[in-house]
Amino acid sequence: MSSQDSSQQPVKLAKTLTNIDALALGFGAMIGFGWVVLTGGWLESAGTMGAVAAIVVGGAIMAAVGLVYSELTSAMPLAGGVHQYVLRGLGPRFAFIGSWALVGGYVTIVAFEAVAFPRTVAYIFPEINAIPIWEVAGHTVHLTWALIGVIGGIAITWLNVRGVKQASIAQNFTVIFLLVVGVLMIFGSVTRGEAANMEPLFTPGTAGFFTVLIAIPFLFIGFDVIPQSAEEVNVPARKIGRLVIISVAMATAWYIMVVLTTSSAMGIDELVQTDIAVADAFGALFHSQIMANILIAGG
């Protein structure tokens, strides 16, 4: 009888994550690759301050969502995040629908990253564009390019299958590297950037503003990594919710910093001619292609 009872006891996950680990997971998931490949388009569409305004508004919207997550995470610090909240509040049918809707959203992120990753690799190693296989919208798709995206996705999957602690170690390293790059971007912008390059501050109309704004939820989707890992975070439940809000605020500040430093490095006429605007702008600040490559490696 005791054996049967013990077999029915719920499995408890090991609390292996510190608050720093959880914060790095959430922040790192939100900044991802998006800023590397999208910033140039934002500046062209909305102007410097137009892009900043859109990021601030988008960040405020996501912070409001984060407040809801914060309350729910503190009340139900269980692995699964949204699935658990909907299951408790609305029942299994809505939890099933909501969870599969989330899966659909995550699949789009995987597709985006599988394209963004080889694009950044090609910035450093242009020779990877080999063995053309077909064309999409006038752009040639190369087999080697596609394989890099697939291999990258498999590697990330393998890392997560190994366990959340192993994933957090890799994420901590990546976030530290990115923060160093961020400090260098600010230093380069302050010492060598020019305010005149930030023109135009705004573009006519509101189309550019909304072009940036609609991308923000897509970029910030990673903050729910913290609620999903709540059962494995070794901090009081009430503090886990705060980490969600802090990570959203950090990501908002990061995107604003990237926009301002990139626009200060080069005029918009030059930026639109670049392959990856953020990397070329970073290289221009230090007059070094190596620095541009370092930024790509960090992104």
| Residue 131 resides in a domain | yes
- One-letter-per-residue 3-state SS of the chain: CHHHHHHCCCCCCCCCECHHHHHHHHHHHHHCCHHHHHHHHHHHHHCHHHHHHHHHHHHHHHHHHHHHHHHHHHHCCCCCCHHHHHHHHHCHHHHHHHHHHHHHHHHHHHHHHHHHHHHHHHHHCHHHCCCEEEEECCEEEEHHHHHHHHHHHHHHHHHHHHCHHHHHHHHHHHHHHHHHHHHHHHHHHHHHCCHHHHCCCCCCCCHHHHHHHCCHHHHHHHHHHHHHCHHHECCCHHHHHHHHHHHHHHHHHHHHHHHHHHHHHCCHHHHCCCCCHHHHHHHHHHCCHHHHHHHHHHC
pLDDT for the residue numbered 11: 62
Tokens 């305004």 label which residue? 53
| Residue 233 resides in a domain | yes
Domain with residue 179: its CATH number is 1.20.1740.10
Do 119 and 276 touch, CB atoms closer than 8 A? yes
| Residue 6 resides in a domain | no
Q: Which two tokens stand for residue 82?
A: 């949204």
| Residue 289 resides in a domain | yes
Please count the structural domains in the chain: 1
Do 265 and 188 touch, CB atoms closer than 8 A? yes
Do 37 and 276 touch, CB atoms closer than 8 A? yes
| Residue 21 resides in a domain | no
Q: What is the pLDDT along the chain (299 residues), one digit of tens a residue?
A: 444 444 455 566 667 778 888 888 888 888 877 788 888 889 999 999 999 999 999 999 988 888 888 888 878 887 788 888 889 889 999 999 989 988 888 888 888 888 888 888 888 888 888 888 888 888 888 898 889 989 988 988 888 788 777 888 888 888 898 899 999 999 999 999 899 999 899 999 899 999 999 988 888 877 778 777 777 777 787 787 788 888 899 999 999 999 999 999 988 888 888 888 899 999 989 988 888 888 887 76
Q: Which domain holds residue 87?
A: 35-298
| Residue 13 resides in a domain | no
| Residue 61 resides in a domain | yes
| Residue 29 resides in a domain | no
**Exposed e or buried b per residue across 167-183, where buried means at least 16 C-beta atoms within 10 angstroms of its C-beta:** bbebbbebbeebeebbe
Do 173 and 287 touch, CB atoms closer than 8 A? no
